[in-house]
Amino acid sequence: MAAPSPAGPVARSGWGRSSTFRSLRHPNARRYFFGLVVSNAGTWLQSTAMAWLVLELTDDAGALGAVTGAQFLPQLLFGPWAGAIADRRHRQKQVLLTQALAMVQAFVLGALTLSGHVNVPAVYVLAVVLGVVSAFDNPARRSLITELVDPDEVANAISLNTAVMTGSRVIGPALAGVLIALVGTGWCFVLNGVSFVAVLVALVTMDRAAIHRAAPATKAKGQVREGFRAILGDPVLRIAFAVLVVVSTLSFNYNVAIPTLVKRAFGGGSGQFGLMLAVSSVGSLLGALVVASRPPQVRMVLVATAGLGASMAAAAWSPTLWLSMAFGVPMGLAGSGLVAITSGLLVNRVAPNLRGRVLALQATVFLGSTPIGSPIVGFAAEHFGSRWGLGIGGIAALVMAPLGWLAWRHSVVRGRLD
């Protein structure tokens, strides 16, 4: 049985009566999630503006894929080791440092753009810088969330974190579509820098006595391998990760596939690009909230994968932009559901002092595959038609859903899964 929350009376607040939002009864969690909503809205504002900036500078989907890949290459290279560091360090202090560095990167990109000195090589360099910072931020930030709630609320908090991330996508891209047209991309980067103030204030003002700090892992050889063993030794996590590897590589490349589709297939501009991302993000928010109210199961991973594939294919080959946007809702719902379910399975099935490492491995699969997948998607969009940038991801997900189901059934028959 979980120990009572140090926060005491908050357990009887209105938040505790909702199974979906129960972890928000903790003041530290509420403060932190509010800061993340503001900060991540700014992050999506910058991400959308950066994608449009690269298209304006090059009019080349391949270049857009390469820049996106450069941002996530550090996650592929350093992600597993960043998770081991997160398990050894004071997570609150590490997140404070990484968020401050990300704020500096945003201000530098904004200054270069507003001064007229921005170019593609500069965007490449700053994308890599942000990627390095994010590689160390991601496992520490997601692990810190598990320390702000009671042990039996960890999976719920992780799902709400996904809801925060996807919910901020509703605000950021839509705002970017308006601001790019009104004031240009440079001010989007500056506003992203300002948005980090919210999460920095939340981190500094936390009640330290109410944080459930996990015992830090001691530095030793083989810590990254220990994280791999925790995943590979569990049939549930093996199946979920196999699906996530393929889908992350080929399906979750929205910043390459969607602007290319909007601009070339439908003749749209930055406003339509931002709106389509925002529409898909409405679905993403719904998907994360649905998962937050249910215990994660491997069969849910397979349903979400099939839904993602079908909706992506439908959005890619829709005859009109508005119909394509409509399919963005189930696309976002299934995509965020897949990520949230996988995260919930992880935190439920591994020890607390391994969470930083396994969450980092998930981020390496989810984000670190982008340097591989983005150029592939960009190449497909450039040489086979803009619809194939999104369509190739839909086909990949539709293939992985039945393969994952066969692996699940095989494990059930052999008595390895319930």
- In the predicted model, what is the mean pLDDT of residues 338-348? 83
CB 64 within 8 A of CB 255: yes
Residue 374 has pLDDT above 70, yes or no: yes
Give pLDDT, residue 359.
76
Predicted pLDDT at 183: 84
Per-residue confidence (pLDDT) for residue 417, from 0 to 100: 52
Split at pLDDT 50, 70, 90, the class of 11 is: very low
The pLDDT tens digits for 43-89 are: 888 888 888 888 888 877 777 777 777 777 787 777 777 777 777 77
pLDDT at 198: 93
Whether the per-residue pLDDT at 159 is higher than 50: the answer is yes
| Cα distance between residue 213 and residue 28, in whole Å | 13
Average confidence (pLDDT) over 33-52: 85
What single letter denotes the amino acid at residue 323?
A: L
Of 231, 189, 78, 48, the C-alpha closest to 140 is 78
Q: Which three-class secondary structure state does DSSP give residue 98?
A: helix
pLDDT at 20 over 80: no
- State the Cα–Cα distance between residues 139 and 149, nearest whole angstrom: 17
Give the tokens for residue 215: 């015992």
> In sequence order, what are the residues at sequence separation of 6 or more whose Cβ sits closer than 8 angstroms to the Cβ of residue 93?
none
- How does the average pLDDT of the chain come out, rounded? 81
pLDDT for residue 235:
87
Confidence of residue 401 (pLDDT cuts 50, 70, 90): very high
Domains of the chain: 22-203+222-413 (1.20.1250.20)
Contact in structure between 25 and 10 (CB atoms under 8 Å): yes
* Alpha carbons 40 and 177: distance in angstroms, whole number: 16
Q: pLDDT tens across 180-191, in order?
A: 888 888 999 999
pLDDT at 408 (0 to 100): 85
Q: What whole-number distance in Å separates Cα of residue 401 and Cα of residue 312?
A: 14
Q: Can you tell me the distance from the alpha carbon of 315 to that of 334, in angstroms, rounded to the nearest whole number?
A: 13
User: What is the arithmetic mean of pLDDT over 253-275?
Assistant: 82
Q: Is the dihedral of CA 245, 418, 3, 156 positive or negative?
A: positive
Q: Which of 12-16, 330-334, 348-352 is most confident?
A: 330-334
Does 12 have pLDDT greater than 60?
no
Minimum mean pLDDT range among 50-59, 124-133, 162-171: 162-171
* 317-337: pLDDT as tens digits: 999 999 999 999 999 889 888
